[in-house]
Each structure stands twice: as C-alpha cells, then as structure tokens.
C-alpha cells in the first residue's frame, strides 16, 4: 500500500510564543536527517514547516502541526484556531503581509511565507474560515 503510514507525530504550536518559535521545524528537520531523507527533500520540508509554524505563531491563537510519512510522501497538515484569512488569493501573493511593526523588526513580514510553501510543495491546499481558523495541507514526494 503506497499510502500506508510509516510514521506520524503531532506538535502543538502556541500563538505569539516567539521564544519557542521554529522549534517544531527544527525537530522535524533533525528527525528527517536521522532517517536519511535526501537533503534536497529535507530543505523543502523544513521551509514548509517553518513558514507554516511561524504563521501560526504570528497570526493565530493555537495550532497543531501533523507530520506524517508514508511510503511516498511527507505530509504536513497545519491547522489553527485564529482569525482566518479573508482573501486567500491576496494572502498567497508575494509581498502581501499584515505583520505588525514589531514582527517586521524581528525580520518577519516579507509576505513570502505562503508563496514559498506553495513553491516547495508537490501538493498544496489552503482552507480558511474568518474568525475560526486556517488549515494548510502540504505534501512532498520524497522518492
């Protein structure tokens, strides 16, 4: 069965917790190195995880990152409870950002996170409901 789950782990992400921001992506990167996934794949997964994780930290209240490996794919599902995104098309455009001045001072807010996730994914889906939350589904083929 090609979509049989080989490994799965769920991580919690806390909104505005900049002290721990990025920790989930670091754990996943370390794990993928240990199991000897190709560096090019690790690079793409890391970008997707990091950008999705940071968006939850910056814009949402709380979220989860579900990380799954099947025979063929690395699947990352990031779901949050937060303000949601009113205009997804706009949010997907390079350079569009609602980051606050404080976030920009920390180096965020280029408006490149979502476009970069899309570029680095083999399959990408974003669903969002205003005042409820956002869900990203990211799939990367690794063979």
Ligand X SMILES: Nc1ncnc2c1ncn2[C@@H]1O[C@H](COP(=O)(O)OP(=O)(O)OP(=O)(O)O)[C@@H](O)[C@H]1O
> Which residues contact ligand X by CB under 6 A?
51, 55-56, 58-60, 80, 82-85, 91, 96-99, 108-115, 134
Q: Of 113, 128, 134, 139, which lies in the binding site for Mg ion, with binding defined by CB under 5 A?
A: 113
110 binds, among Mg ion, ligand X, none (CB under 5 to 8 A by kind): ligand X
In whole angstroms, what separates CA 94 from the centre of its chain? 16
Please tell me the total number of residues recorded for the chain in this structure.
143
Chain residue at closest Cβ approach to ligand X: 113
Q: CA–CA separation, 80 vs 94, rounded Å?
A: 22
At closest approach, how far in Å is the CB of 82 from ligand X?
Answer: 5
Tell me, by CB under 5 A, how many residues bind Mg ion.
2
- Token pair, residue 28, equals 């996943």
Q: What residues have CB less than 8 Å from 20, skipping those under 6 apart? A: 14
């Amino acid at each position: 069965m090609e979509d049989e789950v080989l490994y799965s782990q769920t991580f919690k992400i806390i909104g505005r917790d900049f002290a721990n921001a990025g920790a989930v992506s670091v754990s996943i990167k370390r794990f993928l190195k240990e199991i000897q996934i190709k560096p090019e794949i690790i690079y793409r997964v890391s970008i997707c995880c990091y950008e999705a994780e940071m968006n939850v930290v910056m814009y949402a209240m709380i979220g989860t990152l579900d990380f799954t490996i099947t025979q063929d794919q690395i699947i990352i599902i990031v779901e949050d409870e937060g303000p949601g995104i009113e205009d997804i098309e706009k949010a997907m455009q390079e350079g569009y950002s609602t980051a606050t001045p404080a976030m920009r001072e920390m180096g965020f807010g280029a408006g490149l996170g979502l476009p970069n996730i899309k570029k680095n994914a083999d399959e990408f889906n974003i669903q969002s409901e205003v005042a409820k939350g956002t869900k990203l589904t990211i799939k990367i083929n690794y063979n």
